[in-house]
A and B are shown apart, each in its own frame.
Chain A
Amino acid sequence: MPSDPSVRDASVQGPHARGSGARDRHVQGLDALEMAPQRQSDRPTAARVAARVWSATWPKLAAVAIVLAAWQAVVWSGWRPVYVLPGPDQVLPRLLTEISSAEFWEALGVTMRRALTGFALALAVGVALGLAVTRFKPLRVAIGSLITGLQTMPSIVWFPFAMLLYGISESAIMFVIVLGAAPSIAGGLTSGIDYVSPQLLRAGQAMGLRGVQHYTLLIVPAALPMFVTGLKQGWAFAWRSLMAGELLVIINQQNSIGWALSQARQFNDSEGLLAYVLIVLCVGILIDVFFSWADRSIRRRWGVAPS
Chain B
Amino acid sequence: MTATTESPSTGTARASAVEIDHISKVFGEGASALTAIDGMSVSVRSREFVAVVGASGCGKSTLLSLVAGLTSPTTGTVDVGGHRVAMMFQEASLFPWLTIGGNIEIPMRVNGVPRARRKERVAELLDLVRLSGFARKRPHQLSGGMRQRVALARALAQDADVLLMDEPFGALDAMTRDILHDELERIWRERSLTIMFVTHNVREAVRLGDRVILLSSRPGRVIEEFTVEGERPRRIDSAQIASQAAEITDRLREEVSRHAV
CB within 8 Å of B: which A172-226 residues:
197, 199-200, 202-203, 205-209, 213, 217-218, 221-222, 224
Residue of A nearest to B88 (CB): A206
Whether A224 and B97, one on each chain, are in contact in the complex, defined by CB atoms closer than 8 angstroms, is yes
Residue of A nearest to B186 (CB): A4
Q: Given A9-B186, A200-B95, A301-B97, are A31 and B138 also a contact pair (CB < 8 Å)?
A: no
Tell me the bound Cα distance from A4 to B89 in angstroms: 27
Interface centre among B96, B144, B233 (most CB of A within 10 A): B96
Indicate the size class of the contact surface on chain A. 35 or more
Partner of A302, one of B97, B111, B173, B182: B97
B107 adjacent to chain A (CB < 8 Å):
yes
Partner of A222, one of B97, B107, B130, B183: B97
Whether B182 and A206, one on each chain, are in contact in the complex, defined by CB atoms closer than 8 angstroms, is no
Contacts of A47 in B (CB 8 A): none
Tell me the bound Cα distance from A186 to B216 in angstroms: 47
Tell me the bound Cα distance from A157 to B62 in angstroms: 54
Whether A9 and B95, one on each chain, are in contact in the complex, defined by CB atoms closer than 8 angstroms, is no
Tell me the bound Cα distance from A206 to B61 in angstroms: 13
Tell me which of A22-30, A77-85, A108-116, A278-286 binds B: A22-30
Number of B interface residues, CB 8 Å? 46
Residue of A nearest to B105 (CB): A217
Chain A interface, >50% SS class:
helix
Q: How far is the CB of A43 from chain B (nearest CB, A)?
A: 16
Whether A303 and B143, one on each chain, are in contact in the complex, defined by CB atoms closer than 8 angstroms, is no
Chain A window 15-42, contacts with chain B (Cβ cutoff 8 Å), 1 for yes, 0 for no:
0101100010001111111111000000
Tell me the bound Cα distance from A209 to B68 in angstroms: 14
Q: How far is the CB of A120 from chain B (nearest CB, A)?
A: 25
Tell me the bound Cα distance from A218 to B87 in angstroms: 17
Residue of A nearest to B189 (CB): A2
Tell me the bound Cα distance from A34 to B172 in angstroms: 12
Whether A206 and B86, one on each chain, are in contact in the complex, defined by CB atoms closer than 8 angstroms, is yes
Partner of B132, one of A6, A18, A197, A213: A18
A1 adjacent to chain B (CB < 8 Å):
yes
Q: Given A2-B189, A207-B110, A303-B138, are A19 and B172 also a contact pair (CB < 8 Å)?
A: no
A164 adjacent to chain B (CB < 8 Å):
no
Whether A12 and B70, one on each chain, are in contact in the complex, defined by CB atoms closer than 8 angstroms, is no
Q: Which 7 A-B pairs have the closest CB atoms?
A: A29-B176, A303-B140, A203-B93, A19-B133, A206-B87, A31-B143, A30-B175
Provide a sorted-by-A list of 19 A–B residue pairs whose CB atoms are within 8 angstroms. A1-B190, A2-B189, A5-B233, A19-B132, A27-B183, A29-B176, A30-B173, A31-B172, A33-B143, A34-B143, A36-B141, A197-B93, A207-B110, A208-B111, A209-B110, A213-B110, A221-B97, A222-B95, A224-B97
